[in-house]
């Protein structure tokens, strides 16, 4: 069985294989497939659709059969093979189909890995899930700059590197296979799992909302920086780093801290600060935006870290991969919805005559309101969880 540190690195490799493609979409699709603009957006969107639909399916299969090792190896091979196949001279429709399946295999394998890491002392779930969360966010932060460097070798280099990375994950898992757990007769499909462990709805909701907020600002903030603040690409990229790097760095220590203080309090504070950061993002002068991005990154980590801890603790035995799949699928759904709604809002408000100085601050403010709304919806349960954390009551889900 891979150690927690090795499992975290495998999770990072899985995420990195996809995030390498972020800066490569336009040159890759244009050079290899002559794709129209809609296909550039679709190339990223269908990947998330595959994750939303495929991750719960593969997680259910892993929980049902208990043979996580073989399934992980197979998914890593499929994931890497499909990325490499995307470089073939195929029609755009075929490429989008391959990309959809690749998203399902990628996030499905990631969810199974995260579920396998959940075992052990419940008091140490914080550090284990924090290590994995930090590795995932580190891969997200490194994906764009590494992908940009690889582009100097050619438009297909990020896809080839990502495919080879996943084949390397498969080779590692052949050597250090995740042990089987045996067939489970109590495997839950997503709706049954949420019915039997209703508190799992909360970390799924928190991660979905957090990713939704990120989705609303990834493209919008770049456009806001260029059109409203007249910042260069390098300045916008530096501001993104002030968000992503603190997020990645803070996730592990905050997860360790969540073993010692009420996780619900950390999560509530993180959600409140995260919402406030987005609400003020469009009114802070350019010279002070780094502080807002730093606040957003740290508070985002304060949401993600305890959310993973709660997911690990609340997932019933025999459904751990499914619990992680729900959180990952929710994150993909949130990102997709946030990106889509921000794009729709931008198009509608631009036609209505809104300027860049009015449009993008309104999008950021609305995203912050969504976060605070989720906090309000969760307040009662968070208070109950905080009391249980403080009293030392077990949150372990039943088998």
Instruction: From residue 203, give the alpha-carbon distance in Å to each of 151, 264, 274, 308, 309.
Output: 36, 11, 16, 7, 9
394 pLDDT more than 50: no
Contact 336, 219 (CB under 8 A): no
Of the ranges 36-40, 113-117, 189-193, the best mean pLDDT one: 113-117
Q: What is the pLDDT of residues 227-245, one digit of tens each?
A: 889 888 778 888 888 998 8
Q: What pLDDT sits at residue 117?
A: 73
Q: What pLDDT sits at residue 188?
A: 61
Q: What pLDDT sits at residue 395?
A: 52
pLDDT band at 167 (very low <50, low <70, confident <90, very high): very high
Q: How many CB atoms lie within 10 A of CB 309?
A: 27
Q: What is the pLDDT of residues 141-154, one digit of tens each?
A: 888 788 888 988 98
- Mean pLDDT, the chain, rounded, equals 84
Q: What pLDDT sits at residue 311?
A: 84
112 pLDDT more than 60: yes
pLDDT band at 398 (very low <50, low <70, confident <90, very high): very low
The whole-model pTM stands at 0.81
Domains of the chain, CATH where assigned: 1-184 (1.20.1250.20), 188-391 (1.20.1250.20)
Q: What pLDDT sits at residue 393?
A: 47
312 pLDDT more than 90: no
Higher model confidence: residue 192 or residue 280? Answer: 280
Q: What pLDDT sits at residue 391?
A: 54
For range 280-301, the mean pLDDT: 94
Q: What pLDDT sits at residue 18?
A: 87
For range 363-372, the mean pLDDT: 95
Region of poorest pLDDT, from 240-254, 267-281, 379-393: 379-393
Higher model confidence: residue 388 or residue 341? Answer: 341
124 pLDDT more than 80: no
Contact 64, 115 (CB under 8 A): no
Region of poorest pLDDT, from 39-48, 300-309, 324-333, 335-344: 39-48
Q: How many helices and strands (H and E) does the chain possess? A: 14, 0
For range 67-78, the mean pLDDT: 91
Q: What pLDDT sits at residue 118?
A: 58
- DSSP for 90-148, written as a single string: --HHHHHHHHHHHHHHHHHHHHHHHHHTT-S-GGGHHHHHHHHHHHHHHHHHHHHHHHH
Q: What is the pLDDT of residues 174-218, one digit of tens each?
A: 988 776 665 555 556 666 777 777 778 888 899 999 999 988 887
Q: What pLDDT sits at residue 340?
A: 85
For range 335-359, the mean pLDDT: 88
For range 18-33, the mean pLDDT: 80
Q: Output the six-digit token pair for 127.
A: 């550090």
């Amino acid at each position: 069985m891979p150690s927690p540190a090795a499992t975290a690195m495998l999770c990072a490799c899985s995420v990195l294989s996809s995030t390498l493609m972020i800066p490569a979409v336009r040159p890759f699709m244009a050079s290899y497939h002559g794709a129209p603009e809609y296909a550039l957006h679709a190339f990223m969107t269908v990947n998330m659709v595959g994750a939303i639909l495929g991750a719960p399916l593969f997680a259910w299969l892993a929980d049902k059969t208990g043979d996580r090792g073989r399934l992980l190896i197979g998914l890593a091979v499929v994931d890497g093979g499909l990325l490499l196949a995307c470089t073939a001279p195929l029609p755009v429709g075929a490429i989008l189909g391959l990309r959809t399946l690749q998203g399902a295999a990628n996030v499905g394998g990631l969810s199974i890995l995260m579920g396998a890491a959940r075992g052990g002392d419940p008091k140490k779930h914080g550090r284990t899930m924090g290590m994995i969360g930090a590795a995932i966010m580190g891969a997200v932060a490194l994906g764009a700059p590494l992908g940009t460097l690889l582009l100097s070798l050619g438009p297909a280099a990020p896809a080839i590197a990502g495919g080879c990375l996943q084949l390397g994950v498969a080779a590692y898992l052949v050597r250090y296979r995740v042990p089987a757990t045996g067939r489970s007769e109590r495997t839950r499909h997503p709706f049954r799992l949420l019915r039997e462990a209703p508190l799992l709805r909360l970390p799924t909701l928190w991660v979905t909302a957090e990713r939704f907020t990120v989705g609303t600002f990834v493209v919008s903030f770049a456009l806001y920086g260029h059109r409203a603040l007249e910042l260069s690409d390098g300045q916008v990229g530096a501001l993104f780093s002030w968000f992503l790097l603190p997020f990645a760095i803070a996730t592990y220590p905050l997860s360790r801290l969540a073993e010692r203080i009420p996780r619900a309090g950390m999560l509530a504070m993180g959600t409140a600060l995260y919402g406030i950061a987005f609400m003020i993002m469009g009114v802070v002068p350019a010279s002070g935006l780094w502080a807002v991005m730093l606040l957003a990154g740290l508070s985002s980590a304060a949401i993600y870290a305890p959310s993973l801890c709660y997911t690990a603790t609340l997932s019933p035995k025999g459904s751990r991969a499914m619990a992680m799949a729900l959180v990952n699928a929710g994150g993909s759904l949130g990102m997709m919805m946030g990106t889509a709604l921000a794009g729709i809002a931008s198009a509608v408000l631009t036609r209505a005559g809104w300027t860049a100085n009015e449009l993008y601050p309104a999008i950021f403010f609305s995203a912050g309101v969504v976060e605070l709304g989720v906090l309000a919806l969760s307040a009662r349960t968070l208070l109950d969880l905080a009391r249980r954390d403080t009293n030392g009551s077990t949150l372990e889900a039943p088998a």
